Amino acid sequence: METTENTRIRLLLLDFDGTLADTRRANTQAYVAALAEAGYPLTEQEYEANYFGMRCEEFLTRFGIADPAERERLRLRKIALYPAFFDSVRLNRPLWEFCRQFQDQGGRVWIVSTGSRANIDNVMRHLGIGGPDATSAEAPLGKVDGILAGPDIPRAKPYPDCFLEAMRREGCSPRETLIFEDSPIGIEAARRSGASYFVVKL
């Protein structure tokens, strides 16, 4: 792939939730269920309207849970409940096929997400794709070359740090990188990184 400046694209960086995978309903249902167990009423509509796309810590703080230990307990419970709702998760197959063809031509593909690594690993396993160390049996649909998630990067999107760190690890410049994003904060992070980006709508 060539840019207008004739620089070859060597690296694709993919957001996960809402970009490579449609996880919106499953994420929402898992949060609602975890909070309901603990006695905190929240509807799917309220979560999607006010909190969707936030890091767990930010969401629970804004929701009004002040105790850090309680937030951590709820975070872990959400991760545990999440797979129960995977029936609604869908892989963005056109994007994934594009990534596989890009890899076949020598390109590199990373997932760069503010989401929990445990959540991402669970969904990838369900979808049949894997991280860089996965076996072909574990990842029958192929695997990515790297993953940056959640706590790997101290400053979350809209800061561009996560994208810049993936570029640094691959030895690629912004001009050699193409980013796929869906959320306003992710798109802003992509813009700030200096790379070209593509807005995904699932």
Neighbour-count burial of 126, counting CB atoms closer than 10 A to its CB (0-12 exposed, 13-18 middle, 19+ buried): middle
- Domains of the chain listed by start with CATH number: 11-23+89-199 (3.40.50.1000), 24-88 (1.10.150)
| Cα atoms found within 13 Å of the Cα of residue 90, Cβ hemisphere only | 10
Query: DSSP 3-state assignment of 139?
Result: coil
Mean pLDDT over all residues of the chain? 93
Query: 39 to each of 42, 116, 174, how far by Cα in Å?
Result: 9, 23, 46
- Buried-state track 69-84, b at ≥16 Cβ within 10 A, e below 16: eebeebbebbbebbbe
Task: Write down the pLDDT at residue 153.
Answer: 87
Q: Tens digits of per-residue pLDDT, 29-49? A: 999 999 999 999 999 999 988
Task: Write down the pLDDT at residue 115.
Answer: 86
Structure tokens at 108: 């590199």
The residue-averaged pLDDT of 162-182 equals: 98
Q: pTM of the entire structure?
A: 0.88
Query: DSSP 3-state assignment of 116?
Result: coil
Distance between CA 170 and CA 165 in Å, rounded? 9
Peptide bond between residue 158 and the one before it cis (omega within 30 degrees of 0)? yes
Q: Which residues contact 19 (CB under 8 A, 6 or more apart)?
A: 92, 95, 180, 181, 182, 186, 200, 202
